[in-house]
């Protein structure tokens, strides 16, 4: 259902408030540049710092501007299951095409607890769901066995696999019929080479055409072009994570004149040393 390049979109701020005009511009930018789907209110969108009102308004604005031209997959995860149900229900009511649901963070639930968490959301809301496995953020990883159990539900349509472990992705693909999406830009091609179908991309915030071409080239069997793009994009991929995401990508967008770079605490401006390093990488790629 969801394949290719799915951008984990940043949330623009202006003087401490969500900049809805700029948000709309970013949606149009991705539609014009070949992105296959948009995720508002994910980790890259600084969802932990959005109020419930802002969360709903951001999803609503993206759905409104997209107007059916591109799928919208709302980030609706929480470490509180009832809150995840509420956010997911609102996303469906707003018109989102799907939900990206992160595993509960900080709680460190057991595998059975993770399973019950997703099951509770599925019981209450009928919407396509992408499971999001990112243990570096949550403190717990979903086992391949648990993914296989969840894949038995029709509404679980994909997993964003961000463990950085190709073996984990291979195990999932061997155990069940679920779409695997890379959760790391630098691993898009490796994961697609074993059967993955695309990426939930941070890099696409600044290079949407190139990331889209990489995934579409591989899906069309144009392997050499996909390899060429992977190799050329690799340094920029790594630069997007020299500090906590989304600090580098928002800083890059500021350097490129596409965003003011404003974030909400506890995220803060990039260090001067890392900003120089990031700018050098962008210059070497030819963006600056």
pLDDT at 133 over 90: yes
Q: Is the pLDDT of residue 193 over 90?
A: yes
Name residue, tokens 């340094």. 235
- For the cut 90, the answer to whether the pLDDT of residue 23 exceeds it is yes
Query: For the segment 134-146, what is each residue's pLDDT rounded down to a tens digit?
Result: 998 889 999 999 9
Nearest CA to 20 out of 80, 77, 67, 64 is that of 64
The span from the CA of 266 to the CA of 263, in Å, is 9
Q: CA-CA distances (angstroms) from residue 167 to 1, 30, 144, 161, 223?
A: 24, 32, 10, 11, 22
CATH superfamily, domain at 4-220 = Aldolase class I (3.20.20.70)
Chain centroid to Cα 148, Å, comes to: 21
Beta-sheet strand order (sheet of 198-201): 37-39, 4-8, 198-201, 179-182, 156-161, 129-133, 98-102, 73-75
| Sign (positive or negative) of CA dihedral 167, 163, 142, 190 | negative
Contact 182, 200 (CB under 8 A): yes
The label of the residue with tokens 């595998």 reads 111
197 is catalytic: no
Token digits for 168?
Answer: 């984990």
pLDDT digits (tens, 9 = 90+) for 245-288: 999 999 999 999 999 999 999 999 999 999 999 999 999 999 98
pLDDT given at position 117? 97
To the nearest whole number, what is the mean pLDDT of the chain?
96
Q: Which residues have C-beta within 8 Å of that of residue 215, sequence separation ≥ 6?
A: 3, 4, 5, 36, 188, 192, 198, 199, 226
For the question of residue 20 being annotated catalytic, the response is no
Spot the catalytic one: 20, 61, 132, 197. Answer: 132
Cα Rg of the chain (Å, integer): 18
Check residue 195 and give its pLDDT.
Answer: 97
Rounded (10°) angle between helices 272-285 and 223-239: 160
Candidate list 160, 197, 250, 285, residue with the active-site label: 160
Q: What is the pLDDT of residue 1?
A: 82
Among the listed residues 172, 98, 96, 190, the one whose alpha carbon sits nearest the alpha carbon of residue 133: 172
Nearest to 245 by CA among 287, 186, 198, 191: 186
Taking CA atoms, 286 is separated from 1, 279, 283, in Å, by 34, 10, 5
Domain ranges of the chain: 4-220
Name the pTM for this structure: 0.94
């Amino acid at each position: 259902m969801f394949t290719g390049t799915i951008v984990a979109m940043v949330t623009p701020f202006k003087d401490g408030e969500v900049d809805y005009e700029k948000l709309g511009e970013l949606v149009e930018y991705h539609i014009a540049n070949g992105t296959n789907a948009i995720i508002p209110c994910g980790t890259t969108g600084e969802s932990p710092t959005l109020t419930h009102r802002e969360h709903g308004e951001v999803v609503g604005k993206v759905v409104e501007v997209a107007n059916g031209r591109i799928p919208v997959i709302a980030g609706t995860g929480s470490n509180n299951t009832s809150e995840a149900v509420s956010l997911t229900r609102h996303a469906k009511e707003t018109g989102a095409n799907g939900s990206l649901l992160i595993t509960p963070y900080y709680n460190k639930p057991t595998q059975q607890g993770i399973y019950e968490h997703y099951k509770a959301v599925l019981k209450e809301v009928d919407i396509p769901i992408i499971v999001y496995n990112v243990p570096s953020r949550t403190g717990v990883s979903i086992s391949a066995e648990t993914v296989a159990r969840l894949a038995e539900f029709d509404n679980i349509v994909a997993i964003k696999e961000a463990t950085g472990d190709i073996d984990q992705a291979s195990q999932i693909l061997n155990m069940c019929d679920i779409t695997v999406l890379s959760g790391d830009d630098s691993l898009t091609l490796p994961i697609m080479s074993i059967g993955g179908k695309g990426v939930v991309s941070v890099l696409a915030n600044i290079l949407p055409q190139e990331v889209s071409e990489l995934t579409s080239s591989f899906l069309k069997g144009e392997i050499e072009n996909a390899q060429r793009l992977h190799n050329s994009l690799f340094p920029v991929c790594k630069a997007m994570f020299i500090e906590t995401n989304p600090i580098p990508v928002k800083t890059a967008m500021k350097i490129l004149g596409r965003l003011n770079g404003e974030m909400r605490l506890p995220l803060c401006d990039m260090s001067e040393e890392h900003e120089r390093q990031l700018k050098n990488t962008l210059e070497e790629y030819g963006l600056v």
